[in-house]
Amino acid sequence: MDLNLAGRRALVTGSSSGIGEATVRMLAEEGAIVVVQGRNRERAEKIAEEIGAAGVAIGDVSSDEVADSVCAEATAALGGNIEILMNNAGGSPTGNSSVPPAEISAADFARNYHTNALAAVRLCKLCIPDMVANKFGRIINVSSAVGMQPNNMGADYSGAKAALNNYTVSLAGSLKGVGITVNTLTPGIVMVEGLLRYGSKRYDKPDLTFDELSERFVDEGIFDMPPVGRLGVPQDLAMVACMLASPLSGYITGANYRVDGGQTRGLN
Ligand SMILES: NC(=O)c1ccc[n+]([C@@H]2O[C@H](COP(=O)([O-])OP(=O)(O)OC[C@H]3O[C@@H](n4cnc5c(N)ncnc54)[C@H](OP(=O)(O)O)[C@@H]3O)[C@@H](O)[C@H]2O)c1
């Protein structure tokens, strides 16, 4: 199936690794013009070269000024306005995944909000006027299963993702008849290098593999193995991101796409 992505201009934030990297690789394979974004210039430039990206846009999108410069740098590299915006940069900058809510500071909540909710708000605000003018836009906000079903720990991260889910529905509803769709993409547990680094440290095992990590997580009761019998890989998410980015997905907006192997117990 041709997703009609050839020549479409895309910015995926946090595409210097993990889910974002898999998505820019897949978008580029589909013929989209992409910019690689992240804070680590060296990694972003390496990926950009490998996939023939239009360029890189480097910086921490959790502040207004940097979001402005990332948007400007991406637009210049793409040679036109951003048509596909995937707000994927995120993760917990505070590392409170084992900390109960009553012990998390307001400053940590604010930090997570800036990274996981406001980074998307900033870039949407910057990109939407041109999308409206051109009557086309695809916005994909990357959330988390804990934004729907929070754990007892790490409420600063899960709360920020829940806010992003809420914002997505409001934004989608407010953009009437202008050719822009806004959706949430919700991963469960996805095996990315960052998670492996975390596991290696947690279990004091430098050569830990993804299989061993998932076994240990399940044994420790950190999560149940999802019904599909394996954990996610970045490409599982990238595939759905490409579908939502496609001009063919014009009837899908305000929706939440769970890509979690059935991990979340919910009707959506
Ligand atoms: N992996 C999972 O199990 C999982 C589960 C649920 C949700 N998610 C969500 O999926 C998204 C992608 O995460 P991932 O798992 O692919 O993790 P990852 O491999 O660590 O990638 C995170 C990416 O985001 C970038 N990034 C982080 N904070 C940033 C900031 N403030 N400004 C600019 N770039 C920033 C990183 O760039 P640099 O390294 O260059 O700084 C990196 O490219 C995140 O929003 C995360 O919350 C992941």
Comparing 17-21, 79-83, 173-177, 200-204, which segment has the lowest mean pLDDT? 200-204
CA distance 120 to 11: 12
Would residue 251 show up in a list of annotated catalytic residues for this protein? Answer: no
Residue 56 CB partners (closer than 8 Å, separation 6+): 35, 36, 37, 38, 41, 44, 45, 48, 73, 77
Rounded to the nearest integer, the mean pLDDT of the chain is 96
- Asked if 8 and 32 count as a contact pair (C-beta separation under 8 A), the reply is yes
Pocket (CB within 6 angstroms of ligand 1): 13-20, 38-40, 43, 60-62, 88-91, 115, 142, 144, 187, 189-190, 192-195
Comparing C-alpha atoms, which of 187, 195, 190 is closest to residue 142? 187
Nearest CA to ligand 1 atom 7: 144
- Measured in Å, residue 176 CA sits from the centre of ligand 1 at 30
Q: C-alpha distances in angstroms, 217 versus 105, 232, 236?
A: 27, 14, 20
Q: Stretch 162-174: mean pLDDT, rounded?
A: 98
Q: State the pLDDT confidence band at 130, using cuts at 50, 70 and 90.
A: very high
pLDDT at res. 202: 86
Per-residue model confidence (pLDDT) at position 220: 83
Task: Please give the domain boundaries of the chain with CATH numbers for all domains.
Answer: 9-190+233-259 (3.40.50.720), 191-231 (no CATH)
Query: Are 257 and 184 spatial neighbours (Cβ–Cβ below 8 Å)?
Result: yes
Catalytic residue among 157, 167, 198, 203: 157
Lowest mean pLDDT among 53-62, 74-83, 84-93, 213-222: 213-222
Q: How confident is the model at residue 201 (pLDDT cuts 50, 70, 90)?
A: confident
Across residues 92-100, what is the average pLDDT? 92
The whole-number average pLDDT for the span 30-36 is 98
Q: How far apart are CA 27 and CA 11, in angstroms?
A: 10
106-123: pLDDT as tens digits: 999 999 999 999 999 999
